[in-house]
């Protein structure tokens, strides 16, 4: 499966999650839904007006600038690496400071969309579908490596091939 197709597939799987009402967002998916594929250039037409699409580096960095202003001083936080004396405490303190500074920021009310790559995993003969393994993309930015992850995620995503597709 090609990388662009995989990204597009994951984007639409996530789009379905974005459109599910929040009270059931962490529940396992129920029923069958048709998987739609479109070019990423048409993604805005499917999303609610005002949604910030965080796929490209520039859009991700603009979101982070609006959220925090400037990147953290990673050199000071990391020192000489993960095993540097005081590293954990510096990182813990930085995270608490960032959380406190973000509390009243209206950017946290933005609707955002991002891409996770999805890969078809094993075939389940009982459901006649493939399980989907999805994980976050690590995006290289001026802020360091950025990834987006939900607090909870449905555990039973499946893809069933269309019977009418030529073999």
What are the tens digits of pLDDT across the range 22-74?
443 444 556 666 666 677 788 888 889 999 999 889 999 999 999 999 999 88
Any domain includes 43:
yes
Residue 3 confidence class, pLDDT cut points 50, 70, 90: low
Any domain includes 164:
no
Q: Is the dihedral of CA 45, 47, 52, 58 positive or negative?
A: negative
Name the residue range of residue 109's domain: 3-159
Per-residue pLDDT, 22:
45
pLDDT exceeds 70 at position 1: no
Q: Quick count: other Cβ atoms within 10 Å of Cβ 116?
A: 21
Q: What is the DSSP string of 122-147?
A: EEETTTTEEEEEE-PPPEEETTEEE-
Any domain includes 97:
yes
Per-residue pLDDT, 166:
61
CA 147 – CA 142 distance, rounded (Å)? 13
Any domain includes 166:
no
- CB–CB of 124/159 below 8 Å? no
Any domain includes 143:
yes
Mean pLDDT of the region 100-114:
91
Per-residue pLDDT, 86:
86
Any domain includes 135:
yes
Any domain includes 88:
yes
21 or 110, higher pLDDT: 110
Q: CB within 8 A of 153, min separation 6: which ones? A: 17, 26, 134
Q: Work out how many domains the chain is built from and give that number.
A: 1
Any domain includes 167:
no
Per-residue pLDDT, 131:
86
pLDDT exceeds 90 at position 118: no
CA 111 – CA 17 distance, rounded (Å)? 13
Helix (H, G, I), strand (E, B), or coil: what is residue 103? coil
């Amino acid at each position: 499966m090609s990388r662009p197709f995989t990204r597009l597939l994951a984007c639409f799987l996530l789009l379905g999650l974005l459109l599910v009402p929040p009270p059931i967002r962490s529940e396992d998916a129920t029923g069958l839904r048709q998987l739609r594929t479109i070019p990423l250039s048409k993604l805005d037409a499917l999303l609610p007006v005002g949604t910030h699409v965080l796929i490209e580096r520039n859009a991700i960095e603009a979101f982070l600038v609006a959220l925090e202003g400037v990147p953290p001083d990673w050199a000071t936080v990391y020192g000489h690496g993960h095993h540097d004396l005081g590293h954990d405490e510096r990182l813990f303190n930085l995270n608490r400071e960032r959380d406190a500074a973000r509390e009243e920021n209206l950017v946290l009310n933005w609707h955002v969309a991002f891409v996770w790559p999805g890969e078809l995993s094993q075939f389940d003969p009982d459901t006649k579908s493939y399980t989907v393994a999805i994980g976050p993309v690590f995006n290289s930015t001026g802020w360091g490596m950025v990834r987006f992850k939900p607090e909870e995620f449905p555990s039973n995503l499946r893809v069933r091939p269309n019977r009418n597709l030529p073999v």
